[in-house]
Amino acid sequence: MAKITGPFVAIVTPFDANEELNLAALARQVKRQAGAGNGIFCAGTNGEFYTLSFDEKVAVAKTCVEAAAGKVPVLAHIGEISTHQTIALGKAIEKLGVKAVSVVTPSFIACSQEELIVYYTRVADALSVPVYLYNIPARTGNKIEPATAATLAAHPNIIGIKDSAGSQESLDGFLEIARTRDDFDVLVGPDHLILHGLKNGASGCISGLGNIAPVTLNKIHASHVAGDAAAAEAAQTHYGELRKALYAHGFPPTMVKRALFLAMPDVGRSRGPALVSDEVNDKVAVVSKTFAEATA
């Protein structure tokens, strides 16, 4: 399989006024991102996977693959709490044409590193589609240690890790593993570490902020690949300023969704219980107007 590289946007999941899926709006967002040159990562944290049913996750992946129409790759998140449900969702989604799937560590259950190794091994054994580990301990309560990732990297169907721990130390630990293997890659999750990751061997990134700044996201990667360090640094700095301005007001996925909603109302609001007060809405509106990009 060809190596998966480049910038991916962790695309939002649009809802209508009744909090039902708005697949037409999702297709429009996929085409918008493809137009900017960004791949699609669906039903992840910014896609509110934690609010979606099994069938909705399948519908989201199907819509993204169809809307992308082969112009950009689509990755899908399939992580559930149980091994059984993760495998079941993976088997449903691997038939749809996604390039790979990501599997977040189980939440609620406190897992040992041995349990994580068995979990990921069973999932990777069961699926034909390539698997990325997904590390976001602040949300799941379970952390993938570098030694665990190194063990799992030997599995022929585990091709890398999406690290969203948020620290450079965490990212560097996984990048060190990737530098020792040609068959294990790192996708950068934290928006402020994209360029750092790319400079140090990451194959790409998956960004939530790309929903509202797709051109800047793409420019970070494209400039780095082209060897234009100054342009890459400038784009990363702009991205960092957006991150700081927006995430100061609340839960990042909810803030990203609200900023995009203010510019493109058909994506809808976040599903409950997430709420945005009038005061926060006004502050997000200022950020949205300052940083929004004309990529409709």
Catalytic-role residue among 134, 219, 239, 257 = 134
CA–CA separation, 221 and 69 (whole Å): 22
Residue appearing with tokens 């709006």: 25
CA–CA separation, 205 and 193 (whole Å): 9
Catalytic-role residue among 62, 99, 162, 257 = 162
Determine the residue type at 225: V
CB 257 within 8 A of CB 270: yes
CA–CA separation, 212 and 286 (whole Å): 13
CA–CA separation, 127 and 122 (whole Å): 9
CA-nearest of 138, 187, 246 to 5 is 187
CB 17 within 8 A of CB 215: no
CB 186 within 8 A of CB 161: yes
31 has catalytic annotation: no
User: H helices of 94-158, where?
Assistant: 113-126, 137-140, 146-152
Rg (alpha carbons) of the chain, rounded to whole number: 18
CA–CA separation, 276 and 249 (whole Å): 9
134 has catalytic annotation: yes
* Pairing state between β 204-207 and 185-188: parallel
Supply the DSSP string of 249-279, one letter for each residue. TS-HHHHHHHHHHHH-GGG-PPPTT----HH
Residues written for the chain: 296
Q: List residues with catalytic annotation.
A: 134, 162
